[in-house]
Amino acid sequence: MYIISSCLLGNNCKYNGGNNRNGDVLRFYQTHSCCVVCPETAGGLQSPRPPAEYSGDRILDRTGKDVTEAFRRGAEASWRHVLRQAEKRREPIEGAVLKGNSPSCGSGSIYDGTFTGTTIPGDGCFVRILKEHGIEVISEKEIDRWLITKKK
């Protein structure tokens, strides 16, 4: 079973009320067993909402409000959901395709807190949980590799 960011499948859970639909991720989803998550909405954040980025070890929205706890709650709730789905389906968790640069789902790079589109090395709070459990995480920009190597 693979974990997929809900916004990459066209679900409108992005901070601006939109989505990040990606045709290659959708094709992967259609041919593999997947568990779909949005850690941000799982943490109680609405869509739309102000954008949020890491600032040090905290996550702040553009207005300066500290939303760290909502992001952490959502990451933990999403992890529990994934574990329940894996157990229910009796399938191992093979990996995750998550939205790059996100404060929840960014893997290897996240936005730097200036709200200018600048990234820094780092992982989102949900990705940290996955990596602690040895789960490979890629962004939507890397999905072409998995379309070739992760045949069903």
**CATH at residue 36:** 3.40.50
Q: Is the model's pLDDT at 152 over the cut of 90?
A: no
Range of the domain at 96: 2-50+68-107+123-149
Q: What is the pLDDT of residues 84-136, one digit of tens each?
A: 999 999 999 999 999 999 999 999 999 999 999 999 999 999 999 999 999 99
Whether this prediction's pTM lies above 0.85 is answered by: yes
Report if residue 82 sits inside a domain: yes
Report if residue 46 sits inside a domain: yes
Report if residue 16 sits inside a domain: yes
Q: What is the DSSP string of 16-78?
A: TS-----HHHHHHHHHS-EEEE-HHHHTT--SS---EEEETTEEEETTS-B-HHHHHHHHHHH
pLDDT band at 58 (very low <50, low <70, confident <90, very high): very high
Report if residue 90 sits inside a domain: yes
